Amino acid sequence: MYGIHSSAKEQITKLVENLFDTVALRFVGNLPKLQQKKTMLIGFEQNVSLANLFIQAMNNRYPNILEQDVLKGLLDGAYSYIDILKNKTSNNITQRIDGLAREARISGDKIPQDEINKILKDELDKARSGLETIIASEGTKTRNLGMAMDITRAAASTGDKDPIVGFAVIRDGSTCPICVKLCVMPDNVTPRLYRMSELNAGYYKRGDTVPSILGQHPHCRCTLFMVPSDWGFDKWGKITYIGIGHDELAKQRTA
Amino acid sequence: MAGRIDYKQKYEELKAKFMSSVDASWRDGYQHGLQDSQVEQAAQQQEADAMAAAQPGQPGEEQPAEGEQPEAEEEAPISQNPNGDELGQHIEKLESMLGKSEISSFELQDLKKTLNDIRSLQVYINLTKSRESAKSAKMAKPYTPIKMTPKLQANLPDQSKKALTLQHEIIANVFKKWENDSARAASGIGAILNSEGITKKE
């Protein structure tokens, strides 16, 4: 017993693919994989994508070969996650509708429109939730990696191969307790410092005792900043020049 | 017998429905209550627990937004009935009556009255829970780009401020258009199914 025709399945799949590819075009930008789909975006639509974010995080400097490669990896990674979600959503929608159609044909009835709408709403809501996670986490990752690349380059120019960094935590009342614990000292004011090499370079995992360069979670707003030698923090936790020979990291670790 | 009403089954169904309704209301009130200031104070003491329950930043997984309590902190509570004494009396009465094989018309009337009492009690509990939830619930806000105040931007390098704002703009832009695009896709799918002739309008 069949459900919906294969041609209908193909059309549904194409509609869902177009929906996700449009999102990917807006978010990731004009990847080679999306070349054929770029006409989906209206020509005069101003589009700011992950690539712009990366360049902005690098202080609008032209990326070198290494940074271009990092950016390419970031864009490919982000597109892969969207692609996986696209296939999952498209498959879920067609399979669920196909199942309903099969049941309806067996019973000699038709599918109520409400049931179709319910399936579509359910799947598209799930897709939106998944997209939000992907977009938030990939955005955070791109921004922080851009910052990390910029800090590394600036530090290397002064001969420092392993710069001291901290995370600027946005303290607006909705900051997550993990970010505060990992990125702020127990006085709840002074940023906690790390060597760049000590930071976790992958996604943050529960129980990790050091923050991740990529951010602690998808909506993480903590941002890397460098603390040059001789610099430290005032009593409000704001970075300031202390004096020649001052080592803020050593001070924090001996306290 | 074909025409006979199965009161026991009806009672069981009603009881199950009622208990699930009370559970849902209670859980709803509990979860909203977690966001209350008292719980926030308690959460600071249990920071270590929150750490263990934190979500990893893996894309593709459901993640809580920043500021939300981790999932494990919001474990479904054990079923509780705040007005258990009064409700228990009604339930015991119903059970004793339904235990009898024959139900007289007088008992049937009493049964109906008791059931009405339970229903009114259920409405009362739901209203109370809703009121409590509404007091402590924070309204869901649409996604809005962050506004950088001097306090928020301490230690943030200039490019980071711009990048953070840009990131929020990108996300807001994608989801602003997602609503229209997904609605268009849904109506397109509906049209395809209509042309297949497998849907009916109610």
DSSP state string for A97-139: HHHHHHHHHHTT--EEHHHHHHHHHHHHHHHHHHHHHHHHHHH
Structure tokens given for B136? 């402590």
- Answer whether B46 touches A (CB < 8 Å): no
CA distance to partner chain A, nearest, from residue B22 (Å): 25
What is d(CA B22, CA B127) in angstroms, rounded to the nearest whole number? 11
Q: What percent of chain B has pLDDT over 70?
A: 44
Is B84's Cβ below 8 Å from some Cβ in A?
A: no
pLDDT band at B14 (very low <50, low <70, confident <90, very high): confident
pLDDT tens readout for residues B164-196: 888 888 888 888 888 888 898 888 988 888 887
Percent of chain B whose predicted confidence (pLDDT) is above 90? 0
The answer, for B102 touching chain A at a CB cutoff of 8 Å, is no
CB pairs under 8 A between A and B: 227
Give B 120-149 residues with CB within 8 A of chain A.
146
> Which is nearest to A138 in space by CA: A53, A16, A247?
A53
Q: Which of B2-11, B141-150, B178-187 has the highest mean pLDDT?
A: B178-187
Average pLDDT, chain B: 65
Q: Which of B60, B185, B198 sits opposite A110 (nearest CB)?
A: B198
What tokens appear for A158 in the block? 């002064």
Closest chain A residue to the Cα of B193, Cα to Cα: A8
Taking an 8 Å cut-off on Cβ atoms, the answer to whether B159 and A239 are in contact is no
* Token pair listed for A171: 């303290």
Per DSSP, helices labelled H in B75-153 are 84-98, 105-136
What's the confidence (pLDDT) of residue B75? 40
Cβ <8 Å between A225 and B202: no
Question: How close A15 gets to chain B, by Cα (Å)?
Answer: 6
User: Is residue A140 within 8 Å of residue A50, measured between CB atoms?
Assistant: no
Choice between A67 and B60, residue whose per-residue pLDDT is larger: A67
CB contact (8 A) between residue A216 and residue B175: no
Instruction: Choose among B51, B152, B182: nearest Cβ to A178.
Output: B51
Q: Which of B65, B175, B181 sits opposite A22 (nearest CB)?
A: B181
Mean pLDDT by 10 residues, chain A (255 residues): 83 91 85 67 68 88 88 91 93 91 84 88 92 90 89 87 88 80 86 91 85 86 87 85 89 84
Q: Does the distance separating the beta carbons of B190 and A113 come in below 8 Å?
A: yes
Cβ of A27 and B67 within 8 Å? Answer: no
| CA dist., res. A228 & res. A186, Å (int) | 22
Please give the pLDDT value at position B46. Answer: 61
Q: Is B57 on the interface with A (CB under 8 A)?
A: yes
Q: Please check whether residue A164 is in contact with residue A246, taking contact to mean a CB–CB distance below 8 angstroms.
A: no
Q: What is the ipTM of this complex?
A: 0.82
A218 and B188 in contact by Cβ < 8 A? no
- Nearest-Cα distance to chain A for B34, in Å, is 14
